[in-house]
Amino acid sequence: MNANEIKTGGEVVRSRNQYFVQFMSIISGYVLAINVGAHLAWTSPALPYLTSESTKFYLTNNQGAWIASINSVSSIFGSVTNSLLVNRIGHRFTILIFSASDLISWILINFADNYSFLLIARIVAGFSMGGSFAFLPIYIGEVTGKKIRGRFLAVDRICINLGVFFITSLGAFFSYETMNLAMIFVAFLAICTFPLTSETPYYYLMKGREEEAIKTLMKLSRVTRSEIIMADIERMKKAMERQDPKNSSIQELFKDRGSRKALIIMLLTYFVYAFSGALSIQAYAQGLFKQSDSSLAPEYSAMILTGVQIFSGLPSTQLIDYWGRRPVYVFSGIASAIGLGTVALYFFLKEFLETNVSSVSWLPLFGLVLYQFMCNFGILTIPTVLVGEIFSVKVKRTAVMIGAVFLAIFLFTSKIMTPLLNDALGIYTTLWIFSSVCLLGPLVIVYIIPETKGSNLEEVLTLLGGVKEKKRTNVPCQLKIQKI
């Protein structure tokens, strides 16, 4: 349904109002996504301060590496907790719990006055980060319409990028303490917007509360007559009934062909997500720019780099539903590899061949800006979109929990290996490894990913199961209401 008015049984339904209601239901989750980005990039402005002589407590390089990567390990517990909570208390109160956890983590970071205290604070940050990261794609996939679901899922990535830019900007212009205080306010904002959060109709149906599911779907669809959305309710119920009640979610995940394929797709895209190097480079951005000998101050270079990421997500919100997921993913991978490969070549000439590269000292910033732009265009966005689309309701939370565990392992490995490889083999070797993953990963994965553009959740499951989708018939005018 487009932005025009559609008369249904004497009522006027405005799709813009419908999308606005859906957006406001997600707003608290989007604030949490901003905090996820801030946690990911916090070490970029924090470590140069904490490893300098001006800090109130000094960190060694090894301690700094643990501070940068430990949150990836503790995010596993947040992801597992998310899976357990959502099935028991629902989406609304799960998001409240992680909002409170996020607030506590920033308070602990602000008051940390030694390495052990800060390590604990970062562990708590990882817990809230993992839970928030796992929660939002599932929630968005269940409350938004299929025609704009990809855009709402892409906004999740934009909010993460906004958090990355926000923390690097705070670090560039304000003190370490002021930076942490500002993030306490952002975390508190997630709690303030919690009352706007709506439960999903899928959750109510799973709990046998059909009346509440109908009321929720009516609210999200901006209609006042229940018969208008009953076809969607029946579709959701049939999708849940098709799953074997004798099997647990984990049995269903590995027994069902479509679910197994979806799990493989998710893990492969998460591998590319982690070893594309984007998050590792964010974590050590200021140190990398300092090593490049650029005339621009490292903190400002890092701010430019992270600022570009916000705008890179904007075209993907449109093209992901226009071009489709697969073309965007491949194009992003090729362009990202070119950008990062250029930076790797610069450091190879400078450090290994000891060539004078002062005339092109701008190249690392240019190459990394291109790389981060294109990475966020698809490599870092498509996994989030797919997770919200390719799993059935019964197995989704279990699958996301498994995926989050593997993603945490991938990210921890990527972050901890970056300074070690830089010291042992040179920064150019690390960058070439990341560039190779950017190039080869999407080219391999695109052969097994079905195109999910314009398909509802049930149609995607049919595609994954290897059954050709039946040709869609025209929907009567009376039923042209955005499907959830």
Give mean pLDDT, residues 291-314.
75
52/64 Cα distance (integer angstroms): 11
pLDDT interval class at 120 (50, 70, 90) = very high
Strands 5-8 and 11-14 come out as: antiparallel
Nearest-5° angle of CA 416, CA 421, CA 424?
A: 135
| Percent residues over pLDDT 90 in the chain | 13
Q: How many CB atoms lie within 10 A of CB 195?
A: 9
What percent of the chain lies above the pLDDT cut of 70? 84
Tell me the pLDDT tens digit for each residue of 226-268. Answer: 777 787 777 777 766 665 544 556 777 777 777 888 888 889 9
Main-chain dihedrals φ then ψ at residue 4, nearest 5 degrees? -75, 160
Give the mean model confidence (pLDDT) for residues 408-431.
86
Mean pLDDT of 59-67: 82
Q: Tokens for 472, please give them.
A: 């869609």
| Residue, of 211 and 6, whose pLDDT is higher | 211
Burial of 293 (0-12, 13-18, 19+ CB in 10 A): exposed
The chain-wide mean pLDDT, for the chain, equals 79
Residue 466: its pLDDT value, please? 57
Handedness of CA 440, 445, 451, 457 (dihedral sign): negative
Residues 222 and 431: their CA atoms lie apart, in Å, by 49
Q: What is the pLDDT of residue 125?
A: 92
Superfamily of domain 11-479: MFS general substrate transporter like domains (1.20.1250.20)
Does residue 5 surpass a pLDDT of 70?
no
Q: Which residues contact 169 (CB under 8 A, 6 or more apart)?
A: 303, 306, 307
Task: Give the model confidence (pLDDT) of 135-193 as tens digits.
Answer: 787 788 777 776 777 777 778 878 888 898 889 889 888 888 899 999 999 999 989 88
What is the pLDDT at residue 53? 74
pLDDT of residue 291: 74
**Is the model's pLDDT at 417 over the cut of 50?**
yes
Q: Cβ of 258: how many Cβ atoms within 10 Å?
A: 20
